[in-house]
Structure 1
Amino acid sequence: MSCDHLICAYCSHPVSEGRCPTCRAARAELHGNGFSVPPMLVLAGLLTLLFAALVLQRCAA
């Protein structure tokens, strides 16, 4: 979803312009704070790396 076509109910201007605090809050909520990785995905990745390291260590010995 994009805020380009949304109209603010408070000031009746496009949300993308951010003319009032309500517009700015809605725009920030829609755009978020960037890319975020779920903690469970990070944990799964770390466990996979740990498992791979243990397997490689076992094969090298």
Structure 2
Amino acid sequence: MTCDRLVCANCAAPVNEGRCPVCRASRERLQQQEGVLGALTPAALLVLLVALVAVAVLARSFAG
């Protein structure tokens, strides 16, 4: 989840702007939870999956 569309219940501003301490804390927590794959878009994950399948098919054709 990203904080692009989240609205702070404390100040009613977008969380990604970090206007109040609650926004800044929520933004920091979300950024820590994202990890490596959290920054990837669904399209990028789909491209990685297609590439993995292509490598698997190539490896199987060379092995047989």
TM-score (norm 1): 0.51
Q: Larger radius of gyration, structure 1 or 2?
A: 1
Alignment RMSD (CA, Å): 1.7
The percentage of counterpart residues that share the same residue type is: 21
Residue equivalent to 1:42: 45
| Structure 1 runs (4+) greater than 4 angstroms displaced | none
Structure 1 unmatched runs, 5+: 1-20
Whole-Å separation in 2 of the counterparts to 1:49 and 1:58: 14
Count how many residue pairs are aligned between Structure 1 and Structure 2.
39
1:32 offset after TM fit, Å?
Answer: 6.6
Unmatched segments (≥5 aa) in structure 2: 1-9, 12-19
More helix by share: 2
Aligned partners of 2:51, 2:29: CA distance in 1, in Å? 29
- What TM-score, normalized by structure 2, do the two folds share? 0.49
